[in-house]
Structure formats: structure tokens, C-alpha cells
Homo-oligomer: A and B are copies of this chain.
């Protein structure tokens, strides 16, 4: 194996696959990056066995030569060391050569590294994808969907299925739901090419977070392929594989109230900032609870009280309050997470009494729903 490559392109590729690589893996070869070179270009692979990322750098792009392939071949190089070396090389021209089996030479300018690689034969092979369901999202929409749901997954392994986001296809819609059983986030979309055949999969929250870091902030299309135990997200030069969680996701549809006793319309950003301040004192306490009072006067009062530290009162003007007067208490953190997911727009808060779950929706957009369970303090 021998090739010359533009350092910056190599670095970008390493940056992508590094997102899958963890130092805490059972199989030591997974601390390495697998590098495969042929006349078309180089493919690098990183994996922690839950997530696998493959990135391809073409030999030529838009008529510009990026890689000069002298000899085909493949090798595994320790990821952290390889990445640091490439980052610090003195010039933008890098030559990588494998000699005598596993000896790797990396040259750039007057700098020369000799590393000992690992045999690519020992690297796990990619999961085979029996292409069952396939559809398409623009990358920026995919990132929004992840941002709006993934924060609500459970952080505890007591119910492993809740650490994932449930993707449920029905009637041409894709419903993405996450819940940790104290709050729930739901986003409904209609992706391009979704067939009418229903499916239900649970994607680990961690995988979606890593995917989000790799996707570009533009409308480049992402192909999504769902198979038995794996999901694959394909962009132009990157393949992102994640295992799926096994088990049945609970039916969450019955949790969501459809009739309301009190409805409040308010600017999401003002509400977020007021809750952020109110929670400053609440944070000292066990569970970060704030109180929320709304009545026909349209002035919402948010307060918290921490006997050791002090108390805080916030008043904000609602755009509208309808229905019964309301006093309710909830986790400031859950409310802030939900408001951030809705992203500063005007929101509706719909309540069905102080002890029942309440929902948040954007005034302009019905596709995002956030649900929070209140806390008994009154």
C-alpha cells in the first residue's frame, strides 16, 4: 500500500471516523482506524461496535487530484496517534506507505514517522444490510428531528429501551418519540420515499447524537436504510451504521391529553429565560422545581423558593390565557429542555389540571409536541 494525499482532506476523513472510536472497547483493534486504498480513493472505517462510520475520500474530485494511489492495500492504524500525527505534519503533502506487512511510514516535508500497524484482516467486517425500508431526509431536517427528540431519552439503563428514540412509520408519516417516563418529545414528519408498509424501530440516543455531529448543516440528502438489527444513514461520502435496540417500545400515544382546562400562549424565549433565572435558586434543592401560576390577568408568575438560599419571583406577560386559573409545579430542567427544542418561537402550553401531564407546542408548527409530568407541591 502506498499513496500520497492532501493532508487537510485526510484530516477531515479522520475527524469523521474518530466520532465512532472509543478507548473503552472490548476488542483492541477497534481503537484503530481501518484504511483501505484502491484506484478510486481511500476508505477509512472507525467503530465502537455499536456505531460504525465509513468515510470515503475520492482520488479525484471536480477534476482536482486529491490522492495519488501508487499501490493498493489495507492496514489498521492506532486512531489517536494517527490523528495527532496527521494534524501536526509540517506540509500539506502526506505520503503513507506500508512495507514488510505491517510497518507504516508517514512522510511529510522533512518529517518521517514509522509506526507499527495492525492486520486489517482482524478488523470486524461491516454489518450486512438486508435493505428492508428506505427513505430520505435533507441533512438539516434530520438534525432538527434529532435535536427535538433525543434530549428526552432516558439516561438510565434500568429500562434500556427508553435510552433510544422510537421511529414509527404509519400511513406515510414518521413519528419520532423519546421519553424517560417523566417527559416526552415527539416529532412527526413525512419523509421522501417512505413506503406505506409500517415499521417500528428504536435507535440508540447516543447514535443519533453522534450522527448529528457528522451531518452537514445543509439540505444534502441523507438516505436512511433500515434493516433487521441495523440502521444505515448514507450521505455522499459517509456511511453511518448504528445497531438498533431490541425490545418493544411502550405505547405512548395514550399519555398525550387531547382536551385542555387551561391554555396559555406565550413567547418561548421570554419563558425560557424566566425559568432559567427561577431555577438558579431551585438548583440547590433536590429536584429543581419551579412554580407556575397563570390566570385570566395574563401575567404569568414563575417562582422558586429555597429556604437556605432565598427565593425568586419572575413575572412575564402571556400573549393569551384561556380556561381555568392554574397553579402547577414542574422541573425547570425539563421545561427548559422542551422550550429549547421548540427554539424560541411563540408556544402554546395546554394544561389539564395541576396533577396531569401538560403539553407544549409551537404556535406555528403542529409537528413538534413536548409533554411534561408536573410535580406535586401545592
Residues of A participating in the B interface, judged by any CB pair closer than 8 Å: 78, 81, 84-85, 88-90, 104, 110-116, 273-274, 276-277, 280-281, 308-316
Contacts and interface: CB of A to CB of B under 8 A. Distances in A.
Given A116-B309, A311-B114, A280 B316 contact: no
Interface centre among A88, A111, A114, A309 (most CB of B within 10 A): A111
B312 A90 contact: no
A115 B280 contact: no
A112 B281 CA distance: 12
B281 A113 contact: yes
Contact of A313 (B112, B273, B276): B112
Contacts of A78: 309
20 contacts: A78-B309, A81-B280, A81-B281, A84-B280, A85-B277, A85-B280, A88-B280, A90-B277, A111-B277, A111-B312, A111-B314, A111-B315, A113-B280, A113-B281, A113-B312, A114-B310, A114-B312, A115-B310, A116-B308, A116-B309
Contacts of A276: 88
What 3 A-B pairs are tightest by C-beta distance, nearest first?
A115-B310, A110-B315, A113-B312
A351 to B, nearest CB: 22
A115 B309 contact: yes
Contacts of A281: 81, 113
Contacts of A313: 111-112
A169 to B, nearest CB: 42
Contacts of A85: 277, 280
B88 A277 contact: yes
A227 to B, nearest CB: 38
B311 A88 contact: no
Contacts of A112: 312-314
A103 to B, nearest CB: 8
B309 A81 contact: yes
Nearest to A305: B114
Given A81-B280, A110-B316, A90 B311 contact: no
A121 B80 CA distance: 55
Nearest to A299: B110
A369 to B, nearest CB: 28
A281 to B, nearest CB: 7
A281 B315 CA distance: 59
A80 to B, nearest CB: 10
Given A85-B280, A274-B111, A280-B85, A310 B90 contact: no
